[in-house]
Structure 1
Amino acid sequence: MIILKTIALYDKTCLLCQETKRLFNKLDWLGKVEWIPLQEYEKKQSRFAFRKEDLRKEIHIITPSNKIYKGFYAVRRLLVNFPATFLFGILIHVPFADRIGNPIYKWLAKNRHKFLRKNCDRGSCSI
């Protein structure tokens, strides 16, 4: 039996992205998500083509049914996959939750260099 996984594309040079992957891997008790560095994904021939700038601005996931989610919507989708965060993931699927969650996600992603200034020596946090 083939078990299809959600693919999460992350920036392996970004400390916030690495920390997000580390945390989500701890929550992924059932092994539902495969984390692929976007730097490797960009080298492969794939059905899905993304702009490099877009991949570096926010997390992207590809579900087993080939749906693509980005940013807040990707995080929300991932949270539903994990037993420990399932209820919270459902809660932030209620109508209009994205009106709060999406701007918060975008603000955090845009300002990540402020949070990681001391640890961001690779330049990825300046995107």
Structure 2
Amino acid sequence: MKLYVFYDGACPLCVNAKAALNRLDVTDCLVWHSIRDPRVYEVFHFLNQIDAEGAIHALEDDEYVYRGFAAVRRMLKVMPLTKPAGWLFALPGMERPGDVVYRWIAARRPVKTDEAICHDGLCQVSAKKERIR
């Protein structure tokens, strides 16, 4: 089973989170796509740029779309090493605080204004300042 994950490749926090999750993904079930790649919107028609910039998205079985905290929780549930954390986040009462924390972090994440693409935790150095979204 593959889970297609749509993340912000111009966000150092997002790129670092991707790298950390890749180290834990021993079964290679996560397939990553940067929302800064315009081809993503041509291939995955359900995704629009405004929504994608607001939260991480995950697509499972070409049918189920998860957004924000639900996407993070689903990623954790599909990887064997993180499955316990995924089930912990699925306990009754965890969704609301999880959403609140996710939205707080997402609203304050740094994004490179020149839309530099980061790969494997390395980002282009730019003279432009980062902005906080």
Taking structure 1 as the reference length, what is the TM-score of the superposition?
0.81
- Alpha-carbon distance change, 30 to 52 in structure 1, aligned in 2, over 3 angstroms: same
Question: What is the letter of the counterpart of residue 53 of structure 1?
Answer: I
Question: Using the alignment, how far apart are the partners of 1:11 and 1:101 within structure 2?
Answer: 20
Name the counterpart of 1:99: 96
1:17 match: secondary structure: helix
Q: Secondary structure at the match of 1:83?
A: coil
| Native 8 Å contact 1:14 1:124 kept in 2 | no
Report the equivalent of 1:45.
Answer: 42
Q: Is the 8 A contact 1:6 1:32 kept in 2?
A: yes
Deviation at 1:94, TM superposition (A): 1.4
Amino acid at match of 2:19: R
Q: Percent identity?
A: 28
1:126: which partner in 2?
132
Equivalent residues, number: 119
Corresponding residue number in structure 1 for 2:33: 36
1:107-122 matches, within 5 Å, as 107-113=104-110
CA root-mean-square deviation = 2.4
Change (3 A) 1:103 1:111: same
> Which among 51, 56, 62 is matched to residue 54 of structure 1?
51
Q: Quote the Cα distance in structure 2 between the aligned partners of 1:104 and 1:85.
A: 19
Runs of 5+ in structure 1 lacking a partner?
A: 114-118
Which ranges in structure 2 are unaligned for 5 or more consecutive residues? 111-122
Q: Secondary structure at the match of 1:69?
A: strand
- Structure number having the greater strand percentage: 2
1:38-67 per-residue CA deviation (whole Å, 9 max, x = no partner) reads 122555533533231211121101012520
Give the structure 1 partner of residue 61 of structure 2: 64
Question: Going by fraction, where is helix more abundant, 1 or 2?
Answer: 1
Q: Output the TM-score relative to the length of structure 2.
A: 0.77
User: In structure 2, what is the equivalent of residue 83 of structure 1?
Assistant: 80
Query: 2-side partners of 1:13 and 1:49: how far apart?
Result: 21
The SS at the match of 2:66 is strand
When residues 124 and 17 of structure 1 are mapped into structure 2, their CA distance, relative to the original with a 3 A threshold, is: farther
